[in-house]
């Protein structure tokens, strides 16, 4: 469906493009009777005889007649081109105008238009989310027909849904066209509440937002390096419906913008996010605020008290938000001293009470986290998410942790403390700053929910130095255990109960021995890497000087092993294959004689049985009678393998491996489970 020709003297800049159609801005904001006049304008392009014929047809006959008439015009244009060529250009153009007008009549006669009241269609459009209609920043539904377009222009809920989409973030090209679309959609959405997310806020956008500020319920700006004055213009407005405000700037060196927030102008504000920009301490409390998230941002003291340190300013400002439920501070406490060695720690003189706090997330240098937590009071059920950074900078200062003795009150019920779990997960170390190295997480009743993460940005040494990594992990394990379980109990009673080693996490054997020696209460060990699993099993089965209760074994309470094991297609025991048959997987056998089965299997089966089963059997047999028995063994096999030949492990092979393990280890482990990894 196409519109009629452009009015004489009307330039492209005067049109606001929406989807495949163009409509002048004046037309978009006119009243209903003006829109009806625009709809009747196509009647001028109907031929006289066509207009008479349409007026004599019944509603059910219009579409059939339109299709027939359009075919006639197409045939006429074909003959004109063949007989007269370019000379017939004007006649052909006139026929095309007739075709467009007839197509409009065809669309208007559609049954949905004749039997559906416009109120029903408007209600349908109000529930259509444009996300399914916008593979690009367009509104194709406006191009279905002129009637639908008129209805859509009078469906504010549709435009409010459109404005809530993140598609407005693709404004990097054709800036002025996008501003025109944005302004038109804002006007058409009245009087609906608005959820707006935009990548920047230049002066033209700020003017549009300011004129509709009373309808904003959510506003997210950024990430951007500019627009300070424009954002400030918007923040000065009264926004009585605003519940979510996010101002995101790209963190950069140099002067950081600081805004003034008049929170009394946002009486319903519940969520406040700032990144890469500061704001001054509000002048009055904001009891409606429930969620505060600051990243590379501080709450600045008033200009009259500019000497106040960042940590003190943020801490003191929390008095103004007594009903906070979640608080996230990322590099906001030590903003004026990011490495913590240029200036001494400030002094805090009071403790802030946050009785509604459910989730507290802190990422900063350990001294700042510890000082901040020691002067903050919140419920014992509040979940703590801590990520200390810059623990070992180039200055090589002593290790420090973000904990203090009162961070987790001891459970009143000793049995609850004994049932608590502390899980340690180790990850592959990489060069990216956001990659995790270790994570501790608590579970169980009576113990504060806590997650502590060390990432590669915690220290440059964590990326390549095994000794520093293991030393840091063991140190934090001791600190967390001391904080969570302050009661004087035996070392094997409380501590890290579960260790998970993710795929491709490798340390030398001496490092693993050092780490396991610090985990006497370990109950479950999961290792996804085949080579590391082999090393850990050998360490657990090694008898040495008695570190734990005089047994000579590490992790004497271990009750569950979960190991990932690569199928050893190429090992020293197998030698080099000469044909593909040497690399065939485990073969199903019909008899039950174990000796015949071993002799009949491929070299893969022999290697698996000799290298894997024997390693486990020696470990379990050595620990028997000296340690608590391992009650469950879980083994996962890679679903796909590429070396030395690509292939897929099939279910019957998994079943056969489980049978071999049960045959070799069933008298040592009650429960054995083998499964293929999920691809």
Give the structural domain span for 70.
31-115
Within this chain, do residues 451 and 568 fall inside the same structural domain, yes or no?
no
Within this chain, do residues 496 and 552 fall inside the same structural domain, yes or no?
no
Q: DSSP state, 183?
A: H
Q: Is residue 208 part of a domain?
A: no
Q: What is the mean pLDDT of residues 641-651?
A: 60
Check whether 62 has a pLDDT greater than 70: yes
Instruction: Identify the pLDDT of residue 592.
Output: 45
Within this chain, do residues 580 and 447 fall inside the same structural domain, yes or no?
no
Say which residue, 650 or 44, is predicted with more confidence.
Answer: 650
Of the candidates 500, 455, 473, 468, the residue with the CA atom closest to the CA atom of residue 636? 500
Within this chain, do residues 550 and 660 fall inside the same structural domain, yes or no?
yes
Q: Is residue 10 part of a domain?
A: no
pLDDT interval class at 565 (50, 70, 90) = confident
- Residues 498-536: tens digit of each pLDDT: 999 988 788 888 889 989 988 988 999 999 876 788 889
Q: Is residue 79 part of a domain?
A: yes
DSSP string, 134-146: -SSS--GGGGS-H
The CA distance from 87 to 358, in Å, is 80
Within this chain, do residues 553 and 433 fall inside the same structural domain, yes or no?
no
Which of 73-87, 129-143, 372-386 bottoms out in mean pLDDT, i.e. has the lowest?
129-143
Of the candidates 387, 342, 395, the residue with the CA atom closest to the CA atom of residue 365? 387
Domain count across the chain: 3
Q: DSSP state, 190?
A: T
Q: Is residue 325 part of a domain?
A: no
Residue 343: is it exposed, middle or buried by C-beta count within 10 angstroms (0-12/13-18/19+)?
Answer: exposed
Q: Is residue 178 part of a domain?
A: no
Q: Is residue 172 part of a domain?
A: no
Within this chain, do residues 555 and 433 fall inside the same structural domain, yes or no?
no
Within this chain, do residues 466 and 573 fall inside the same structural domain, yes or no?
no
Check whether 32 has a pLDDT greater than 50: no
The tally of CA atoms less than 13 A away on the side-chain side of residue 167 is 19
| Residue appearing with tokens 């439920």 | 325
- With contact defined as beta carbons under 8 Å apart, do 245 and 201 qualify? no
Q: Is residue 581 part of a domain?
A: yes
Check whether 412 has a pLDDT greater than 70: no
Within this chain, do residues 499 and 600 fall inside the same structural domain, yes or no?
no
Instruction: Identify the pLDDT of residue 155.
Output: 87
Instruction: Identify the pLDDT of residue 320.
Output: 92
Instruction: Identify the pLDDT of residue 393.
Output: 45
Within this chain, do residues 516 and 636 fall inside the same structural domain, yes or no?
no
The CA distance from 281 to 125, in Å, is 44
DSSP string, 499-566: EEE-TT----HHHHHHHHHT-TT--EEEE--HHHHHHHHHHHT---S--STTSS-S-TT--EEEEE--
- Residues 154-164: tens digit of each pLDDT: 889 888 888 88
Domain-ending residue, one of 55, 84, 115? 115
Q: Which phi and psi (to 5°) does residue 328 adopt? A: -130, 120
- With contact defined as beta carbons under 8 Å apart, do 603 and 622 qualify? no
Domain-ending residue, one of 91, 115, 139? 115
Domain-ending residue, one of 115, 142, 159? 115
- Which tokens go with 532? 């590391």
Give percent of the chain above pLDDT 90. 23
Within this chain, do residues 395 and 518 fall inside the same structural domain, yes or no?
yes
Q: Is residue 6 part of a domain?
A: no
Within this chain, do residues 405 and 549 fall inside the same structural domain, yes or no?
no
- Residues 81-127: tens digit of each pLDDT: 988 888 888 999 998 998 988 888 888 888 877 777 888 888 888 77
- Which tokens go with 427? 């990850």
| CA-CA-CA-CA dihedral for 436, 439, 443, 447, to nearest 10 | -130
Q: What is the mean pLDDT of residues 36-46?
A: 52
- Residues 239-253: tens digit of each pLDDT: 999 999 999 886 665
The CA distance from 453 to 337, in Å, is 22
Within this chain, do residues 450 and 569 fall inside the same structural domain, yes or no?
no
pTM for the full model?
Answer: 0.76
Check whether 37 has a pLDDT greater than 60: no
């Amino acid at each position: 469906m196409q519109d009629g020709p452009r009015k004489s003297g009307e330039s492209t800049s005067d049109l606001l493009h929406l989807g495949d159609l163009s409509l002048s801005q004046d037309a978009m904001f006119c009243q209903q009777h003006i829109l009806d006049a625009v709809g009747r304008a196509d009647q001028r392009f109907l031929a006289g005889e066509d207009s008479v014929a349409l007026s004599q047809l019944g509603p059910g006959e219009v579409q059939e007649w339109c299709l027939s008439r359009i075919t006639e015009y197409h045939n006429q244009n074909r003959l004109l081109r063949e007989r007269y060529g370019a000379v017939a250009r004007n006649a052909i153009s006139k026929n095309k105008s007739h075709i467009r007008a007839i197509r409009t009549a065809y669309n208007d006669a559609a049954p949905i238009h004749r039997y559906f009241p416009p109120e029903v269609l408007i209600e349908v459009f109000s529930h259509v989310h444009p996300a399914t209609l916008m593979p690009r920043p367009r509104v194709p539904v406006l191009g279905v027909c002129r009637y639908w377009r008129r209805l859509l222009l009078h469906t504010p809920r549709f435009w409010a849904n459109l404005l809530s989409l993140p598609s407005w973030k693709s404004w990097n090209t054709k800036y002025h066209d996008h501003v025109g679309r944005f302004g038109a959609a804002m006007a058409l959405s009245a009087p609906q509440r608005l959820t707006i997310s935009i990548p920047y806020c230049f002066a033209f956008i700020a003017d549009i937002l300011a004129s509709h500020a009373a309808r904003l319920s959510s506003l997210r700006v950024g990430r951007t390096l500019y627009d300070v004055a424009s954002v400030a213009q918007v923040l000065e407005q009264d926004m009585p419906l605003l519940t979510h405000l996010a101002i995101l700037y790209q963190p950069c060196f140099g002067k950081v913008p600081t805004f003034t927030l008049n929170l009394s102008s946002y009486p319903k504000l519940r969520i406040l996010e700032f990144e890469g920009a500061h704001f001054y301490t509000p002048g009055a409390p904001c009891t409606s605020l429930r969620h505060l998230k600051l990243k590379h941002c501080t709450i600045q003291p008033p200009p009259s008290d500019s000497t106040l340190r960042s940590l003190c300013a943020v801490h003191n400002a929390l008095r103004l938000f007594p009903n906070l439920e979640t608080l996230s501070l990322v590099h906001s406490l030590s903003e004026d001293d990011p490495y913590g060695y240029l200036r001494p720690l400030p002094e805090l003189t009071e403790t802030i009470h946050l009785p509604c706090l459910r989730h507290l997330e802190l990422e900063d240098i350990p001294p700042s986290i510890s000082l901040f937590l020691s002067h903050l009071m919140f419920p014992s059920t509040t979940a703590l998410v801590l990520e200390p950074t810059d623990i070992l900078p180039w200055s090589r200062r002593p290790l420090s942790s973000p904990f203090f003795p009162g961070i987790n009150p001891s459970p009143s019920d000793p049995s609850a403390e004994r049932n608590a779990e502390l899980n340690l997960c180790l990850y592959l170390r990489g060069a990216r700053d956001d990659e995790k190295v270790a994570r501790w997480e608590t579970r169980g009743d009576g113990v504060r929910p806590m997650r502590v993460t060390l990432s590669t940005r915690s220290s440059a040494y964590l990326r390549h130095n095994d000794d520093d990594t293991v030393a840091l992990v063991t140190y934090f394990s001791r600190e967390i255990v001391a904080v969570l379980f302050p009661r004087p109990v035996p070392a094997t009673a409380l501590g890290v109960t579960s260790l998970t080693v993710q795929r491709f996490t490798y340390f030398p054997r001496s490092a693993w021995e050092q780490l396991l020696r610090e985990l006497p209460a370990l109950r479950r060990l999961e290792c996804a890497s085949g080579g590391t699993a082999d090393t850990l099993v050998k360490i657990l089965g090694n008898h040495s000087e008695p570190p734990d209760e005089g047994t000579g074994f590490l992790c004497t309470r271990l009750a569950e092993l979960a190991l990932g094991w690569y199928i050893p297609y190429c090992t020293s025991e197998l030698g080099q294959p000469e044909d593909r048959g040497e690399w065939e997987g485990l073969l199903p056998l019909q008899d039950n004689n174990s000796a015949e089965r071993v002799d009949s299997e491929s070299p893969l089966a022999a290697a698996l049985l000799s290298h894997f089963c024997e390693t486990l059997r020696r470990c379990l047999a050595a620990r028997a009678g000296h340690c608590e028995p391992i009650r469950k063994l879980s083994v996962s096999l890679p679903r796909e393998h590429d070396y030395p030949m690509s292939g897929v492990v099939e279910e019957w092979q998994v079943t056969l491996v489980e049978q071999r393990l049960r045959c070799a280890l069933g008298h040592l482990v009650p429960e054995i489970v083998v499964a293929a990894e999920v691809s």
